[in-house]
Structure 1
């Protein structure tokens, strides 16, 4: 039997999360500190304190670092509730990039690194960045990494240009990806480093103007100009950056889906209420077939998105890495949720393109979701390659006893 029920405790936590977001965080959506470049750090800190007081801060983190140690399924339920406002995950310290950074740091950093760079992020006292993406280098294909690190036996000197570095302005915990050049002192290759954001050699050239404004302090262009770091700044081992980044990929893809599912549901709720009360041609617009079909398709897409999210989260809870499954989920969910929000704008009519409702903000913030953590096309390319190499669960390949191969055989 397939059981889709959740525990009463989890249902209560989700309800408490939704109520907190509605009562405490939604009013901030009109705050002038929500700028073109996202919420200011001052606004973030104010909201974080409210979440701390409500005991809803960093729920997704391991208990050893101060979180609640939720499973992937539990995170899915709670993060959907947090996403009712695009500021909800910021307040609860489960927004990108901090959420993904906390995940990878909890897996690979040393105890001394955890004390200095991870715990303050988990506690909401400082923010973090993941500096990988480059204008003409690493992006959807991280193998094009151009930022270089020269090792002299005791220190690394890093030079390179990064952009779309979310939250760079004011962040204190920095994870930097650079290619260690061949040297006589040890191994080389793509490597992760940890350092403070105010280290000499980190130059934030500007904050990019972008269509979304839900990430704290926006997206920065950053130059590393002879950034000198000690050997102790290594995060993990030299040459292992891609492997470590893969650890982060599937969970980060899915937490994006979880948060944006909540935001799309909010837009849908607003559209439904409008369709009930707005009249045209003698009756509420929701009774016109064109509008009712859009709302119906929204309901379908939200349901499919939730099921894909929960199934992939469940697989990861079984110990399966979920790279293939998370690619399927992320590529499909990102497209469906954007279409949901687009239909909501259409149902609202003229006010849908204004800030009379939050739908237009959700629409703008939602669009980049189809690009972040891999555009749809890259995921589909990976899905296609996987099918050709290892087959599809839908192929008629029998087991020894003549029965179809079960979908989940064992943990990878």
Structure 2
């Protein structure tokens, strides 16, 4: 196995430029940007400050970093981009500044791989250029969406058109999006993995309703995590992405690298939480000294370092497997990284909150947002339990069992 998980010379240069850009332009206005994005209500995709930061990032050549295609992005390996993701993960809105935010990145990747020239011109080009945002609608409240073969949103043919009816929720960044990529069941009698079709639905299509933004730990602002309803939403045949029945396969194709991006970003916010915890422990007066003198606090800081470094190595190993063998060969490594990174970063942030005491529970620090994102990561992109089943299946197969 190739164990070199370090940055390439190109990746190193980009990381230095990205770090300098974030220090100069992003972090000084992070609180202001947070407030602007929290107030965003659509239909505009970005507020003035975010638009200005995105223009600066594009002018600086720090744009579409996630794209491996050198004609459109920077041609970075997944290992390289994993390192950059960690840097971007230090700020909640930093990925969006560089046009590297979910769900747009995943949508761009499947559009790049499966869209027709006309679909690319209509949707992919403006997403690449950053003039619009998109959302991805798969999860449903009535079914366990960890198994997308059982989704209940239906798409039926009506002449040359399709009529979509259904209910979706936890649809990230729907407010202000112009495109909704929707997975719907188009042939309920087919093989379970061939029932679904992916549709490209403009958000202003009659019958597509944003019911609400679902409160997450008491927060429901900004682009949000929306509940959507589809009431006889009519789209033409050219709204089908790929072929009818290929929706499940496209959805799986979309998730692999995205899970790595999420995990590495989580390591970025875990590192920031650790820095805050170390500084707090070293400066907070406690019993004639500082918190850092307490054995229990030192143990928390040490466990944080172990968790962060182990998570980083597992994520980069998965990224390297994708680079060398492709996404399908990396499913086991992706699952291992996903489970460990989500749990480890939540633990790291939780310990950082504990070290800060009551301050750690307040929104004066970014720790509460980091904790919420870490907890959500244990469910999003496949719940822990789904990935644990995948890991166990591979373990059984390694010993010649569970061949079915």
SS at match of 1:318: helix
Question: Can you list the C-alpha shifts for 1:63-100, whole angstroms capped at 9, x where unaligned?
Answer: 46632122111110111111111111121121211111
C-alpha spacing 1:134/1:171, structure 2 compared with 1 (3 Å): same
1:331 corresponds to: 339
Shift of 1:295: 0.6
Structure 1 residues 373-412: aligned runs within 5 Å = 373-388=381-396, 390-391=397-398
SS at match of 2:325: coil
Q: Which moved more, 1:272-281 or 1:207-216?
A: 207-216
Q: Which moved more, 1:173-182 or 1:221-230?
A: 173-182
Distance 1:214 1:30 in 2: 18
Structure 1 residues 288-367: aligned runs within 5 Å = 288-321=294-327, 322-367=330-375
SS at match of 1:169: coil
Distance 1:377 1:165 in 2: 21
Distance 1:361 1:236 in 2: 37
Question: Can you list the C-alpha shifts for 1:214-262, whole angstroms capped at 9, x where unaligned?
Answer: 9951011111111111111110011111111111122111110011111
Structure 2 counterpart of 1:163, from 152, 155, 169? 169
TM-score by length of 2: 0.90
Distance 1:150 1:241 in 2: 14
Distance 1:76 1:256 in 2: 9
Shift of 1:268: 0.7
Structure 1 residues 96-245: aligned runs within 5 Å = 96-137=102-143, 139-181=145-187, 189-211=195-217, 217-245=223-251
Shift of 1:336: 0.5
1:7 corresponds to: 8
Give the alignment's Cα RMSD to 1 decimal. Answer: 2.5
1:33 correspondence with 2:39 = no
1:403 corresponds to: none
Distance 1:392 1:21 in 2: 48
Question: Can you list the C-alpha shifts for 1:284-307, whole angstroms capped at 9, x where unaligned?
Answer: 211211111111111111110110
1:69 correspondence with 2:75 = yes
Structure 1 residues 49-68: aligned runs within 5 Å = 49-63=55-69, 66-68=72-74
Distance 1:87 1:314 in 2: 26
SS at match of 1:243: helix
Does the CA-based 8 Å contact 1:132-1:138 persist in structure 2? no
Does the CA-based 8 Å contact 2:37-2:223 persist in structure 1? no
Distance 2:384 2:50 in 1: 30
Does the CA-based 8 Å contact 2:38-2:221 persist in structure 1? no
Shift of 1:189: 2.1
Shift of 1:373: 0.3
Q: Which moved more, 1:299-308 or 1:56-65?
A: 56-65
C-alpha spacing 1:38/1:199, structure 2 compared with 1 (3 Å): closer
Question: Can you list the C-alpha shifts for 1:98-143, whole angstroms capped at 9, x where unaligned?
Answer: 1111122211111221111112112111111111111103511112
Distance 1:331 1:161 in 2: 28
Does the CA-based 8 Å contact 1:38-1:216 persist in structure 2? yes
Structure 2 counterpart of 1:254, from 246, 256, 260? 260
Shift of 1:28: 3.6
C-alpha spacing 1:168/1:138, structure 2 compared with 1 (3 Å): farther
* Structure 1: 5+ residue stretches without partners: 396-412
C-alpha spacing 1:291/1:280, structure 2 compared with 1 (3 Å): same
Does the CA-based 8 Å contact 2:213-2:220 persist in structure 1? no
SS at match of 2:142: coil
C-alpha spacing 1:120/1:297, structure 2 compared with 1 (3 Å): same
Does the CA-based 8 Å contact 1:161-1:223 persist in structure 2? yes
SS at match of 2:385: helix
